[in-house]
Structure 1
Amino acid sequence: MTWILQAVFVVVVAVPIFFLVRRIKQIKRNIQLGKTEDRSDRAGDRWKAMILIAFGQKKMFKKPIPAFLHMLIYVGFLVINLEVLEFLIDGLLGTHRIFAPYLGSFYNIAMNFFEFLALGVLISCIAFLIRRNIIRVPRFNKPEMKGWPALDGNLILIIECILMLAILKMNAADQILQSRGVAGYVDTGSLMISSMLIPIMKGFSDSMLIIVERGAWWFHIIGIFSFAVYVTYSKHLHIFLAFPNTYYSNLEPKGKIHNMNAVTTEVKSMLGMPVENAGDPPQEVGTFGAKDATDLSWKSLMEAYSCTECGRCTSECPANQTGKKLSPRKIMMDTRDRIEEIGAGKGEGKSLLNDFITKEEINACTSCNACTEACPINIDPLSIILEMKRYVAMEESGSPASWNSMFSNIETNFAPWKFSPTDRFNWAQDLNDKN
């Protein structure tokens, strides 16, 4: 019987791992559909950004209460999954709590610590469910969060609650079986949190307790690996992508806008300024800016997959606050949906601009970088907006008439206003005349 359960266990683990690997490869291919961009410089600063922002969650603590709750879930996710290692070994070898005899009293300390974290995760998830569905925090109830995004957020929290309860339920049944001296159940000592559930199961027979304990054990294993696959289709992919995303962050000052090299070279040539590699043949320019997701850099596509949909960017956006249609969160969600569509070979004849994101949305952006500053994992929605604005202005000549007039004035008069540069300080002359 034991070898049959071991074989079943191998299948239960292998199947989700197969789908997980396949999905990871698909996401990698989709990200690589983006244009090349070098983010290999300043390795020390990049490691620092990743440690402080992704691992240390530095930017989360601008909102202390949700940050603390999120920290409980985050630490719980990292530490409690150490117990999954024991689950895996037990499942493969047909043993039960294989570490207990070797760790002695430390095993009890570790298990109590895991249970306190499990309780913290449970409380935090319930608090987040209340914030989303009862208090209805405004940033979770924007138009782009209707339907699947809202359901996805709730599903993750509910699944995490069920998984934590399964651990506590398993440990409670295990303790009763230990106290009755049932064969195979090693004495691990009292566990403070799960002990509270013992009175509920005290009257169960040994066979029923074994069914409860084993059922919870199998449920947790299946749940963990199914959850890992589900996460790759969910906004909670940021659990994994937050680390590379912050490592490859834009380290330039937030007000610095990346110039297009082809345009910069052309302008320098017109002004008689020295141009790097002037003797090389001119580079062929495909299109200016971005019309579709594949016109964006791979980093922008990684950011689309990394987006947590927390809405901090949108809640800080001045355009959104004044009733404009622009939502930086929606920009990232639309980019992810579009590259998923392209990666699946669908959506032919469609494009990110117009079919997913409208000109009205991008034209509302003031380029203030409030969204980038607010993001807990350094996602930069502005870079996508700017690339689409460049496409509209330079490929379609579709910018608003007032903008085109301003562009023309800057080109000819070096200022947004339509008067000669030589007249720029006439107002000051009037002041001198009055004095």
Structure 2
Amino acid sequence: MNYLPNILFAIALIAGLGFFARNVKKLIRNIKLGQDVDVSDNKSQRWKNMAMIALGQSKMVKRPIAGFLHVIVYVGFIIINIELLEIVIDGLFGTWRIFSYYQELYGVLIGTFEILAVLVLISVIVFWIRRNIIKIQRFWKSEMTSWPKNDANYILYFEMVLMTLFLVMNATDIHFQLMNSGNVVSQYIAPWFSGLSEPTIHTIERAAWWLHILGILVFLNYLYYSKHLHILLAFPNTYYGKVKPKGQLNNLESVTKEVKMMMDPNVDPFAAPPEGADAEMPAKFGASDVQDLSWVQLLNAYTCTECGRCTSECPANLTGKKLSPRKIMMDTRDRLEEVGKNIDANNGKFKEDGKQLLGDYITAEELWACTTCNACVEACPVSIDPLSIIIDMRRYLVMEQSAAPVELNNMMTNIENNGAPWPYNQMDRLNWKDE
């Protein structure tokens, strides 16, 4: 018996899974560069969010056409890949369709897979037309440069090829066709190869089988470099997503403590700080680089699908301002990748590169254009929160650089002097009642 195909298959499988594990390890390392944050609350609500949003696609279908097509691709691609278990067993042990022993059940499964493969193929072609022929506006914003545009198309081509290979593999499997069970679609493709010799048909079947499994391994490892990483990260991201009301912003604990101390009449402002107090003070207020953000925010960045729903709903973007919530997430991910490569190149330690997220990637103009309306958060189909990053970077500008816009500085000065945002003396506040 020739064991060479089994050995080659084992090598390809180990290499593919090994490289994937290496990238997953790097991904986790990069996310952990963020600040720690407690997300252990509301566990039941978090599980519900993950089930409804990530698994149930509840926010995707708010746009019915794209949502319906996405559900087909999502369900089809996952269910069809159940067949991977059979392919792995056959590849390692040299068996033929090991699960076909249970012929009736097998016929139902493969028949379902073939129907889903056709539906996925049709859906992906429609997606390609929407993106490249119809050119839906949100796919052609300024941040969608060559790589983001090409990446989206590469994924569509991948899925087209994989679905086609699956159907061709079944259509050219002579023994499978003779079973006449489960070949609900491939039976109509099989006649295309009827003029070929049996050895040639077998060669096509083997080529399709190998290209199918190798394509899946390549696709698996491509995910790390692609926006389609959300296939894996949507589940943890929706679980750790915000569960508090959208309008409720988090307070900086260090600032809260300082304000409480200032308002406590029993506190001696000239007393020496208690032992260990310096260690509790943050290195900086707000965020200027990715290491200042929380690990949940960095997880958000890696989960971004670049679908543009957030930007298409953003009132600032719609009125021509520079802000694009999608760009905020893309820039955060790009900077995080840059920091990760820096660490890799310097033996596991970050070497200062003179760059940061604020300024080199995201401008103050973008940050101050935000109205904090939460439209982007509501629109995101996988619970990403661009607003939290915007707020943290604004805090840095105000509290570390005193770089707030003139209007905001005037308002804060009025509050300090007059106890209200308006430029009127406290003694004149009630004059309106005499008019």
Confirm or deny a common fold (TM above 0.5). yes
Q: How does 1:298-317 map to 2 (within 5 A)?
A: 298-317=295-314
CA contact (8 A) 2:177 2:187 kept: no
CA drift of 1:188 comes to: 5.1
| Pick aligned residue for 1:344 from 341, 346, 368 | 341
CA distance in 2, matches of 1:55, 1:194: 30
SS at match of 1:424: helix
Change (3 A) 1:243 1:190: closer
CA distance in 2, matches of 1:91, 1:396: 61
| Pick aligned residue for 1:380 from 376, 381, 385 | 385
CA contact (8 A) 1:392 1:398 kept: yes
Q: Does 1:142 align with 2:147?
A: no
SS at match of 1:116: helix
Q: Deviations over 1:200-252 (max 9, x none)?
A: 10111111011111100000110011100001110000001000000001111
More moved, 103-112 vs 26-35:
103-112
CA distance in 2, matches of 1:426, 1:303: 50
CA distance in 1, matches of 2:276, 2:211: 63
Partner of 1:292: 289
Q: How does 1:56-67 map to 2 (within 5 A)?
A: 56-67=56-67
CA distance in 1, matches of 2:209, 2:197: 18
Counterpart code for 2:166: I
* TM-score, with length taken from structure 1: 0.93
CA distance in 1, matches of 2:265, 2:235: 41
Q: Does 1:13 align with 2:13?
A: yes
Partner of 2:236: 244
Change (3 A) 1:244 1:422: farther
CA drift of 1:71 comes to: 0.1
CA contact (8 A) 1:36 1:297 kept: yes
Q: Does 1:415 align with 2:416?
A: no
Q: Does 1:405 align with 2:410?
A: yes
SS at match of 1:425: helix
Gaps of 5+ in 2: 268-272, 344-351
Change (3 A) 1:381 1:228: same
| Pick aligned residue for 2:194 from 170, 192, 202 | 202
CA contact (8 A) 1:2 1:94 kept: no
Q: Does 1:40 align with 2:40?
A: yes
Partner of 1:256: 248
CA distance in 2, matches of 1:48, 1:140: 31
Counterpart code for 1:245: N
Q: Does 1:332 align with 2:324?
A: no
CA contact (8 A) 1:116 1:193 kept: yes
CA drift of 1:77 comes to: 1.6
CA distance in 2, matches of 1:268, 1:297: 25
Change (3 A) 1:91 1:394: same
Change (3 A) 1:207 1:261: same
CA contact (8 A) 2:110 2:182 kept: no
CA contact (8 A) 1:166 1:220 kept: yes
Q: Deviations over 1:101-148 (max 9, x none)?
A: 1x1212111111001111111011000000000000100000111200
* TM-score, with length taken from structure 2: 0.93
CA drift of 1:270 comes to: 1.8
Partner of 1:364: 369
CA drift of 1:62 comes to: 1.1
SS at match of 2:59: helix
CA drift of 1:411 comes to: 3.2
Counterpart code for 2:430: F
